[in-house]
Structure 1
Amino acid sequence: MPQEKIDLVGPGIKVHSVVRHGGVMIHAEYVGPVACPQCSSEQLRTKDRFVRKLRHESIGTKNTWLYLTLRKYRCEDCRRYFRARVPGLLPYRRSTEMFRQEIFMDHRDGISQQQLHRTRRIGSATVERWFHDHLELKEKMFSSRLCPTVLGIDEHFFTKKQGYATTFCDLQKHRIFEVAKGRSEHSLHSALMRMKGRERVQVVCIDLSSSYRSLARKYFPNALIVSDRFHVVRTVIRHFLDTWKLLDPVGRKNRGLLSLMRRKGENLRPEQQARLERYFEQNPAIGMVYKAKEELCELLNQKHRTQKDCRPLISRLLYWIDQLRNSPFEPLRTLGATLSSWRDEIARMWRFTRNNGITEGFHTKMELIQRRAYGFRNFSNYRLRVTGLLLSE
């Protein structure tokens, strides 16, 4: 047996022998420091010896058992009897913490409970219980954390019966901060009130949701609200497609044209641009609306701008809002009203580089967790899985 593996048995443990027979059996004795748990005295008298059989961290592919000899003591000062406490071994447990950690890591990495039951010779219910114990321990490590300075808020689907859940993400450190059930202020009130240091939040990034905007203003009073660029551009494209449907219902159903209309003009190949130009020659009104869409999206996609650079951009944004609100088409008037309502939050996009793409990435990982579990019914279990697995990433 390699010496470095013997050292991993634990501090203060002396290995006497290692036997390989249907696995690995380590015979060892605890010789580390011992003190009375009542009075911390080291004036002790040995009264008895006993052996604890424990499951230990596997050596290669071999299951390992640890036969650990311990002593029972009597304190000469307070006359109390007690057994030695061993680091890495909690009372009344038949396995070391290193073995529990190994099972947690294996199950987290995709090894099923039945597979661990067959290879490690432990029950599948034991695997589930240990997995939850480690998740709760990891979640408690972050329970006293303060709110991040840059916070992303977005919703994701949970179940048909229970609806949506809201994700609070630390956009600066790329970590999940909290997951709460619901997406209205009434359902999120208790979770928001439990958050510590809400006054520390400086920036809140959200999509074009009025409920999230009022929630951010109420619970994060010192934060500036910034719109998520992806959702703003998607809103512009959606209203443009609705306008196209009014002007040419038949052409709107052409999937080839639909694909070209959604892309940026600069990303089209020459033959694709020629196809659009031929279509616009037959429908000049659609060509004018398409040109307006391209110019507005180019304006919204500006990044890393200083305060001085933002002044002409704000003038252009107000110009487009005025043009859209006076448009003869209902979808464009609706778009103008939306951009006017969110003009302050949209203008801040040019200064702040953070966006909710980080949060959307975590939502993809949450979907994978749900698929592996074949769905969740209990939101508390779902939150424990998500926070325990993603908090420390």
Structure 2
Amino acid sequence: MGGFYNVDGKKLSRQYRDHLSEFKDWKQKPHAKQWLIFPENIGSYLSIDETALSKGELYTIITNKKAKGKKGSIVAIFAGTKVSTIIEQLLKLSAKKRAKVKEITLDIANSMKTIAKKCFPKAIQVTDRFHVQKLALEALQDIRIKHRWDAIDLENQEIKEAKIDNKIYKPQLFCNEDTRKQLLARSRYLLYKAPQNWTQNQYERSKILFQEYPDIKTAFNLVQGLRTIFNTAKSLEIAYTKLAHWYKDVEQSGFRAFNTIANTITLNYISILNYFINRSTNASAESFNAKIKAFRAQFRGVKNIEFFLFRLTTIFA
């Protein structure tokens, strides 16, 4: 842009920030680095999530689902995740405004639940189903990764033995021509997907993987069982019953990580089961986080936090 007008780009950027934009007269500038609140954007259905704006520094963002990621989306932005600071600022809003909120979606973090309970007491809390499923997927991938490290150790040992015997090392190949190490590495993505979405190659690889590692197959079936509950349960009562059966399968598997997930679900079962009321998720918050990242990339990073927040809120608040 600066080159088009034969003006130094950095100079043009400073001129825009200091003179052409309304940044200097921005009413929220004095406290922008700590908190930003837009009471007029509060709606009946909100999402709360955290995202990194610059250098890994986390910000807590509350968004209005009805705005669908457009103007009016941002309800509040807070630097950090400190519960007491966020609650202090939100409680400055009138009780009538906060009582408008009927439902708020969030992740499993207790800090988010505390904020929602204190500031939006009449809102139903809904734990995002994808955060619950993510825990199960991470437990599954942990099992795969442990086997992969064992396979790497085994291969290294076999290579050393071949060198000692002055032989050329030839790794064992499965029928799809994967080595054991490659089989475990290349199975990463198929374990994230439902079987009906596998390609032919992934289907063949899964058959070998599950035959060689029955524990991975068991863990995969637990992940798919949890996904099926969220996809097919048509009411809160049905979901509750199906989760009880899933708990039994977890106990029989003996996997410590899955027992931890089951305990997490037990401790948060009310907000998790609330998903089946309106089938609400935190997808809107995740989508908005992606927009922030794209916005940040467009301006090649965040050099001035206040100015970045000014531009962000001008578009989305």
Counterpart of 1:383?
Answer: 309
Q: Residue 116 of structure 1: CA displacement? A: 5.8
1:182 aligns with 2:80: yes
1:46-61 equivalences in 2 (<5 Å)? none
Q: Cα–Cα, structure 1 residues 156 and 269, in superposed 2: closer, same or farther, change >3 Å?
A: same
8 Å CA contact 2:222–2:250 kept in 1: the answer is no
Could you tell me whether the CA contact under 8 Å between 1:325 and 1:334 is conserved in 2? Answer: no
Change in Cα spacing, 1:247 to 1:133, as seen in structure 2 (3 Å) is: closer
Q: For each residue in 1:221-254, what CA deviation from the matched residue of structure 2 results, as whole angstroms up to 9, or x when unmatched? A: 0011111122221111111222344566436873
Equivalence for 1:191 = 89
Contact 1:136–1:388, Cα closer than 8 Å, also in 2? no
What secondary structure sits across from 2:67 in the alignment?
coil
1:280 CA displacement: 1.8
Specify the structure having the higher radius of gyration (Cα): 1
Matches within 5 A, 1:17-96: none
Q: Deviations over 1:165-208 (max 9, x none)?
A: 01111012222222221112033234323444111111110111
Distance 1:257 1:146, change over 3 A: closer
Please name the residue that 1:127 is paired with.
16
Question: Structure 1: which amino acid aligns with 2:219?
Answer: V
Structure 1 residues 169 and 124, CA gap change in structure 2 (3 angstroms): closer
Deviates more, 1:211-220 or 1:289-298: 289-298
Q: Is this contact kept in 2: 1:229–1:301, CA < 8 A?
A: no
Q: Does 1:200 align with 2:84?
A: no
Post-superposition CA distance 1:31-82 (Å, at most 9, x none):
xxxxxxxxxxxxxxxxxxxxxxxxxxxxxxxxxxxxxxxxxxxxxxxxxxxx
Aligned partners of 1:331 and 1:355: how far apart in 2?
24
Opposite residue 218 of structure 1, the aligned amino acid is K
Normalised to the residue count of structure 1, the TM-score between the two structures is: 0.61
Once the two structures are superposed, residues 109-154 of structure 1 have per-residue CA deviations (whole angstroms, 9 ceiling, x without a partner) of xx45x656759xx976443222235994899xx9451521101001
Distance 1:125 1:117 in 2: 15
Unaligned runs of 5+ in 1: 1-110
Task: Write the letter of the residue equivalent to 1:312.
Answer: I
Per the normalisation by structure 2, the TM-score is 0.74
Q: 1:255 to 1:370 in 2, by over 3 A?
A: same
CA contact (8 A) 1:227 1:348 kept: yes
Distance in 2 (alpha carbons) for counterparts of 1:350 and 1:360:
20
Q: Percent identity?
A: 18
Map Cα deviations across residues 75-124 of structure 1 (whole Å, 9 max, x no partner). xxxxxxxxxxxxxxxxxxxxxxxxxxxxxxxxxxxx45x656759xx976
Specify every segment of 5 or more residues in structure 2 that has no aligned partner in the other structure, as ranges: 30-36, 152-179
1:329 CA drift (Å): 2.2
Per the alignment, in what secondary structure is the counterpart of residue 156 of structure 1? strand
1:299 aligns with 2:226: no
Residues 247 and 345 of structure 1: is their aligned pair in 2 closer, same or farther, counting only changes over 3 Å? farther
Q: Distance in 2 between matches of 1:135 and 1:357?
A: 34
Instruction: Give 1:147's aligned amino acid.
Output: I
Cα distance in 1 between the residues matched to 2:217 and 2:241? 24
Cα offset for 1:382? Answer: 2.9
Aligned to 1:365: 291
**1:336 aligned residue:** 262
Match of 1:262 among 176, 192, 204: 192
The structural deviation recorded for 1:214 is 1.5
